[in-house]
């Protein structure tokens, strides 16, 4: 695997790569990331990944400083997964000067759910994703469904800004007890790790109820929020939304149920399509 720490180095190698599938990451790779790399290989001649912890998408008081940096292990995993190029720039490469131009997705997409809880997060995320796509210039880019709202924002950005890339979603990878894999799971204590699968169980309960014909969505959401609170969580939201734009459902929309909640000092998110 070739590691590029400058834009010039990646751009010089790009013509040798043919059809390229790209998986951007912030590192601390787990099996969910590796599944995306494997899926990427089915879409192109060559797979490239990036590792960049993007300060711009972390809010004040969030975990930018303690976000796990595990570069050597990540490189081993990427090599083993057949990734041929890694773009791993320093902050000074991506932000050589304060970033003054930003992607500002519309409020109806960023003022809800994750956007409402993490003001500025999607502007910072979309800004770096656009920069990475312009640097790497892949034919295909893969993003996990675990960050469902992120995937929606990126799809809309790519469509509305005519970015020449196909966005491909990857399924969420889970531990045997249902917990969605996430770099942040490493923050959980042993007791919290044992409690954490409750989030998935509750989402699954809502899915089963809706599939069985239950229509009282507010009751399902409130009961799930109460159960989390009763077990020591601080929930931000549990919300059944339509998949297309994450707005409240109307009629026969295809649905997804999304959740975010803090367990101790760790904020977990998850979702299930219904």
Active-site positions? Answer: 33
Q: For residue 115, state whether it binds ligand PAF (rule: CB under 6 A).
A: no
Spell out the long-range contacts of 115-124 with Cβ–Cβ below 8 A and sequence spacing 24 or more.
Answer: 115/149, 116/237, 117/236, 117/237, 117/260, 118/59, 118/62, 119/59, 120/57, 120/59, 121/57, 121/58, 121/59, 122/57, 122/149, 122/150, 122/153, 123/56, 124/54, 124/55, 124/56, 124/57, 124/58
Single out the residue of 54, 123, 149, 271 in contact with ligand PAF (rule: CB under 6 A): 54
Q: For residue 88, state whether it binds ligand PAF (rule: CB under 6 A).
A: no
Select the span of 24-32, 64-72, 242-250, 252-260 touching ligand PAF (CB under 6 A).
Answer: 24-32
Select the span of 23-31, 102-110, 242-250, 262-270 touching ligand PAF (CB under 6 A).
Answer: 23-31
Residue 24, beta-bridge partner list: 50
Q: For residue 147, state whether it binds ligand PAF (rule: CB under 6 A).
A: yes
Q: For residue 129, state whether it binds ligand PAF (rule: CB under 6 A).
A: yes
Q: Which two tokens stand for residue 19?
A: 């059809």
Single out the residue of 21, 24, 34, 238 in contact with ligand PAF (rule: CB under 6 A): 24
Query: Rounded CA gap, 249 and 132, in Å?
Result: 33
Single out the residue of 125, 152, 224, 272 in contact with ligand PAF (rule: CB under 6 A): 125
Q: How far is the CB of 124 from ligand PAF (least distance, A)?
A: 8
Q: For residue 103, state whether it binds ligand PAF (rule: CB under 6 A).
A: no
- In the complex with ligand PAF, which residue's Cβ is closer, 116 or 229? 116
Sign of CA dihedral 197, 199, 201, 203: negative
Rounded to an integer, what is the distance from CA 244 to the centroid of its chain? 17
Which residues make up the interface to ligand PAF (CB under 6 A)? 24-26, 54, 57, 125, 128-129, 147, 150
């Amino acid at each position: 695997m070739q590691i590029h720490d400058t834009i010039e180095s990646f751009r010089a190698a790009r013509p040798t790569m043919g059809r390229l599938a790209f998986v951007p990451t912030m590192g601390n790779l787990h099996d969910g990331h590796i599944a995306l790399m494997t899926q990427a290989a089915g879409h192109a001649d060559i797979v490239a990944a990036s590792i960049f912890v993007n300060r711009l998408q972390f809010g004040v008081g969030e975990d930018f400083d303690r976000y796990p940096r595990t570069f050597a292990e990540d490189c081993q995993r990427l090599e083993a997964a057949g990734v041929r190029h890694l773009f791993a720039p320093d902050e000074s490469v991506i932000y050589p000067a304060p970033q003054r131009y930003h992607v500002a997705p519309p409020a109806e997409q960023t003022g809800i759910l994750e956007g409402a809880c993490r003001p500025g997060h999607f502007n910072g995320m979309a800004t770096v994703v656009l920069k990475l796509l312009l640097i790497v210039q892949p034919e295909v880019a893969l993003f996990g469904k675990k960050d469902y709202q992120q995937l929606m924002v990126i799809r809309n950005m790519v469509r509305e800004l005519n970015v020449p890339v196909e966005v491909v979603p990857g399924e969420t990878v889970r531990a045997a007890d249902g917990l969605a894999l996430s770099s942040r799971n490493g923050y959980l204590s042993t007791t919290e790790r044992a409690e954490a699968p409750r989030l998935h169980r509750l989402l699954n309960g809502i899915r089963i109820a809706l599939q069985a014909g239950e229509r009282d969505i507010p009751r399902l959401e409130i009961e799930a929020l109460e159960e989390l609170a009763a077990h020591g969580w601080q929930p931000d939201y549990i919300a059944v939304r339509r998949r297309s734009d994450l707005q409240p459902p109307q009629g026969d929309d295809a649905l997804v149920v999304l959740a975010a909640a803090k367990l101790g000092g760790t904020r977990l998110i998850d979702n299930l399509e219904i």
